[in-house]
Amino acid sequence: MSNFQMLISPSKSLSEIENNRCEGFSTPYFLDRAVELVAELKQLPYRSLEEMLGVSSKIAMLNWERYQQWATPFNLSNSRRAILTFSGDVYGGLMAKDFEAADFDYSQEHLRILSGLYGLLRPLDLIQPYRLEMGASFKVQGQQSLYSFWSRAITAMLNSEVEAGGVLVNLASSEYFRVVDLKQLAVPVITVEFRENRPDGYKVVPIFAKRARGLMSRFAIKRRLTDVDDLKLFDTEEYMYSEPLSTSSKWVFVR
């Protein structure tokens, strides 16, 4: 099965690292909907933001200030590319800070990032700093959650982006992938799972699994993979595809 697109989660931590080999940029698909969300977020006192995000007063104030300063239009002086902005464990594995121009070009076609504020991002989409997990208890525009706010739009966009005969490779966390309406998704999904060898069997260890999702994304990007089956060759940091533990819709890698 050829032609695939990978889906990853964003991160709470953000970076200021740049890459002078990255010249292009794009605008988020759903910037107009992000504007609507920010308009409501700007009305919240920082104490309400603290409670909603479940963060310290310091982090709540930082993000309250971010939302007060958040403004369109986005440009290279007030915004940064998504792939170079997120810096959590997934992005430590992805290591986009050393990408060449051709790596960015490939990732722009084959990698998508789910986001509580922006919905669905391409790597080179410009974004402004924020903190808004998809699972946050944020009721907006008559919707009970960000899942219901985003589900239809994100699912429809994924349907339009993955070409006929293609497949969606789910490297996102369960918190974020829940936003995709599998009943309405018109393309097959392969969910990738990473497990560690422990005395009581192979177990998923979240911190390692997050990094591995980034490592696999990097593996595909650096090798310009076009056939999803070639992802089974992934062997970075001693991971290995496990045929016995895998199914057609769940690929398990162990080490």
Residues 129-143: what's their mean pLDDT?
90
Question: What is the spatial distance between Cα 21 and Cα 96, in angstroms, rounded to a whole number?
Answer: 11
Question: What is the spatial distance between Cα 107 and Cα 4, in angstroms, rounded to a whole number?
Answer: 11
Contact (CB, 8 A) for 219 and 213: no
DSSP secondary structure, 174-219, as one string = HHHHTTS-TTT--S-EEEEEEEEEETTEEE--HHHHHHHHHHHHHH
- Mean pLDDT (the chain) is 94
The backbone torsions φ and ψ at residue 125, rounded to the nearest 5 degrees and listed phi first, read -65, 135
Structure tokens at 5: 């697109």
Give yes or no for residue 156 having a pLDDT over 80: yes
* pLDDT band (50, 70, 90) for residue 1: very low
3-state DSSP assignment of residue 119 = strand
Contact (CB, 8 A) for 219 and 95: no
* pLDDT band (50, 70, 90) for residue 141: confident
Question: What is the spatial distance between Cα 236 and Cα 216, in angstroms, rounded to a whole number?
Answer: 8
Residues 14-37: what's their mean pLDDT?
91
Give yes or no for residue 54 having a pLDDT over 80: yes
Structure tokens at 30: 């759903």
- H/E stretch holding 49 reads helix 46-53
Structure tokens at 83: 């792939």
3-state DSSP assignment of residue 39 = helix
Question: What is the spatial distance between Cα 144 and Cα 40, in angstroms, rounded to a whole number?
Answer: 14
Residues 6 or more apart whose CB falls under 8 angstroms from that of 26 comprise: 108, 122, 124, 125, 126
Three-state secondary structure string covering 139-169: CECCECCHHHHHHHHHHHHHHHHCCCCCEEE
Contact (CB, 8 A) for 124 and 82: yes
* pLDDT band (50, 70, 90) for residue 21: confident
Give yes or no for residue 79 having a pLDDT over 60: yes
Question: What is the spatial distance between Cα 48 and Cα 247, in angstroms, rounded to a whole number?
Answer: 44
Contact (CB, 8 A) for 145 and 137: yes
Type of residue at 124: L
Residue with tokens 């994924």: 158
